[in-house]
């Protein structure tokens, strides 16, 4: 019997490498994970159609995963003092999806060497961390401070939080902000316990009390075993690694997109955690070739949301031809050609510990997605990106784009999770990225938006929307 999916199923990481043989035919694979990167300072440009009345606030946003280091002073600007009594400013540019929204941060008289990380957003609250006063390119955890920015419609505000007693991991997905009433909020981070496989340490901040508390919580058994054996070279499925966080009613869920969700109910039993699985990567689990049993970065290919009372899950699969030994001059990465890609969605209304609660909704191949007259010109610009040969550009189709980072739309009209937002590039790690909105119900491209290229001098690594966090906003 396979180990249970709960965090104590097997937490020891099994290290090893698998040599990838050369392939002469397309293989299903996931892209490698690039190094972290700063984001462009400039606001993104777009060729997509957006509401003409820009004064109408969007009901939700696609938010960049990092703040831009740039001086902005407008009606959204708020300031506070750092621990060294220096002023730090934050401003917020809210835009209608598919255009990404941006947080701007600057500290006059100080150079922020690393873009502040956007950790979480809920309603009008944005939680981010920043390191002010350090000369390190990548500051240590103890040098980072937490800030909460509150956007409109009320006058904006910015507040620096006291540091937690124990440094919290810097990966942005483990820390989440949750509103509590009109004026207060809670912040929670769930960190695996160092010595107990079945336990986690919950770090919680209460804005009303103004203090952090920490406590050890255990996942409440029993947990259902995996429905079939997991190959040992997919050992990361055996232990929980948080990729993102969601709210499910009154509960916060820390999600391992390959494995499952750890839930903590703030209003219910606060002393225990409960577990819930997500759809397993069955294609990799059942692959006969070890080179096809690679998972890569989960958020590149998987996403999850709680919509209209049920959990929704999305996954991308690729068919890629790897040209081994050849490297792209523009990106520096090995050359590969995307032959096709597929989107699959699931829903879960039972929301128990059972894998069988997940029902597959829809599977849509890129070749089945229609491009209408309203998006044809924008998509043509995307397909011609980085292509000097017009004939080669004409041969490209939607199915040849490198797509990643699937997210569900959060509009009222998307209440059933029918719109999936993707990052699109002409090739892996191309410096230009676009945003596609795919209508799963009607099998068509709903809209296309272009993000600004990376500033000159930066390496061609992934940028903006690939680390976006989807969140609803108040009007």
pLDDT, tens digit (0-9, with 9 covering 90-100), for 62-93: 888 778 888 999 999 999 998 888 899 999 99
User: Residue 144: its pLDDT value, please?
Assistant: 80
User: Residue 135: its pLDDT value, please?
Assistant: 59
* 260 within some domain: yes
* 318 within some domain: yes
pLDDT tens per residue, range 144-160: 889 999 987 789 999 99
User: Which DSSP helix (H) or strand (E) runs through 275?
Assistant: strand 272-277
The pLDDT of residue 113 is above 80: no
Cα–Cα distance for residue pair 438/444, rounded to 1 Å: 6
Helix (H, G, I), strand (E, B) or coil at 107: coil
Count of domains for the chain: 1
> Using 50, 70 and 90 to split pLDDT, how confident is the model at 99?
confident
pLDDT over 70 for what percent of the chain?
76
More confident residue, 17 or 139: 139
CATH number at residue 359: 2.120.10
- Do residues 158 and 142 lie in contact, with contact meaning Cβ atoms separated by under 8 Å? no
Range with the poorest average pLDDT among 66-70, 139-143, 221-225, 393-397? 139-143
| C-alpha triplet 159, 66, 297: angle, nearest 5° | 130
Q: Which residues, in sequence order, are bridge partners of residue 408?
A: 420
> Using 50, 70 and 90 to split pLDDT, how confident is the model at 363?
very high
The pLDDT of residue 168 is above 80: no
Cα–Cα distance for residue pair 99/102, rounded to 1 Å: 10
- Do residues 126 and 118 lie in contact, with contact meaning Cβ atoms separated by under 8 Å? yes
Q: Which residue has the tokens 């390496």?
A: 459
The pLDDT of residue 209 is above 90: yes
Instruction: Report the Cα–Cα distance between both ends of the chain, in Å, rounded.
Output: 51
* 358 within some domain: yes
The pLDDT of residue 407 is above 60: yes
Q: What residues contact 210, with CB distance under 8 A and at least 6 apart?
A: 162
Which backbone phi and psi does 133 adopt, to 5 degrees? 100, 0
* 16 within some domain: no
* 7 within some domain: no
pLDDT tens per residue, range 304-316: 999 888 999 999 9
Mean pLDDT of 235-246: 89
User: Residue 186: its pLDDT value, please?
Assistant: 92
Q: What residues contact 49, with CB distance under 8 A and at least 6 apart?
A: 374, 447
User: Residue 438: its pLDDT value, please?
Assistant: 95
Q: What residues contact 19, with CB distance under 8 A and at least 6 apart?
A: none
* 283 within some domain: yes
Which structure tokens are listed for 414?
């998307």
More confident residue, 417 or 247: 247
User: Residue 54: its pLDDT value, please?
Assistant: 44
The pLDDT of residue 204 is above 60: yes
Helix (H, G, I), strand (E, B) or coil at 344: strand
Of 309, 220, 230, nearest to 269 (Cα)? Answer: 220
The pLDDT of residue 274 is above 70: yes
* 18 within some domain: no
Q: Which residues, in sequence order, are bridge partners of residue 122?
A: 125
Which structure tokens are listed for 38?
């700063």
Widest Cα–Cα separation across the chain: 64
What is the model's pTM? 0.83
Q: What residues contact 38, with CB distance under 8 A and at least 6 apart?
A: 66, 114, 115, 458
Cα–Cα distance for residue pair 300/31, rounded to 1 Å: 8
More confident residue, 48 or 89: 89
* 37 within some domain: no
User: Residue 390: its pLDDT value, please?
Assistant: 55
Can you give the residue range of the structural domain that contains 196?
Answer: 60-472
């Amino acid at each position: 019997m396979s180990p249970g999916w709960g965090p104590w199923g097997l937490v020891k990481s099994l290290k090893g490498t698998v040599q990838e043989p050369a392939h002469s035919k397309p293989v299903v694979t996931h892209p490698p994970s690039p190094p972290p990167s700063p984001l462009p300072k400039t606001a993104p440009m777009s060729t997509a159609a957006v509401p003409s009345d820009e004064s109408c606030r969007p009901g939700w946003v696609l938010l960049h995963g990092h703040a831009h280091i740039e001086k902005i002073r407008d009606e959204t600007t708020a300031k506070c003092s750092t621990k060294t009594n220096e002023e730090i400013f934050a401003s917020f540019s809210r835009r209608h999806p598919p255009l990404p929204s941006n947080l701007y941060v600057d500290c006059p008289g100080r150079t922020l060497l690393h873009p502040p990380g956007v950790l979480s957003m809920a309603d009008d609250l944005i939680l981010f961390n920043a390191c002010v006063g350090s000369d390190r390119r990548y500051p240590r955890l103890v040098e980072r401070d937490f800030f909460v920015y509150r956007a409109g419609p009320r006058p904006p505000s910015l507040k620096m939080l006291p540091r937690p007693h124990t440094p919290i991991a810097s990966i942005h997905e483990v820390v989440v902000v949750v509103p509590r009433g009109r004026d207060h909020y809670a912040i929670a981070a769930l960190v695996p316990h160092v010595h107990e496989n079945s336990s986690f340490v919950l770090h919680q901040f209460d804005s009303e009390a103004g203090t952090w508390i920490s406590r050890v919580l255990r996942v409440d058994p029993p947990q259902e075993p995996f429905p079939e054996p997991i190959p040992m070279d997919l050992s990361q499925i055996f232990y929980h690694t948080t990729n993102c966080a969601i709210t499910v009613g009154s509960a916060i869920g820390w999600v391992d997109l390959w494995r499952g969700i750890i839930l903590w109910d703030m209003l219910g039993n606060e002393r225990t955690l409960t577990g819930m699985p997500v759809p397993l990567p069955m294609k990799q689990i059942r692959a006969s070739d070890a080179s096809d049993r690679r998972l890569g970065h989960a958020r590149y290919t998987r996403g999850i949301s709680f919509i209209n009372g049920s959990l929704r899950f999305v996954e991308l699969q690729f068919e890629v031809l790897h040209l081994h030994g050849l490297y792209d001059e523009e990106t520096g990465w090995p050359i590969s050609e995307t032959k096709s890609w597929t989107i699959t969605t699931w829903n879960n209304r039972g929301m128990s510990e059972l894998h069988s609660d997940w029902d597959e909704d829809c599977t849509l191949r890129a070749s089945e997605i229609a491009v209408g007259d309203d998006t044809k010109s924008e998509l043509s610009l995307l397909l011609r990106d980085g292509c000097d040969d017009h004939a080669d550009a004409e041969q490209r189709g939607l199915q040849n784009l490198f797509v990643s980072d699937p997210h569900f739309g959060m509009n009222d009209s998307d209440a059933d999770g029918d719109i999936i937002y993707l990052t699109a590039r002409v090739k892996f790690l191309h410096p230009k990225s676009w945003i596609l909105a795919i209508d799963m119900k009607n099998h068509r491209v709903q809209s296309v938006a272009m993000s600004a290229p990376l500033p000159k001098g930066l390496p061609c690594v992934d940028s903006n929307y690939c680390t976006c966090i989807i969140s609803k906003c108040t009007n």
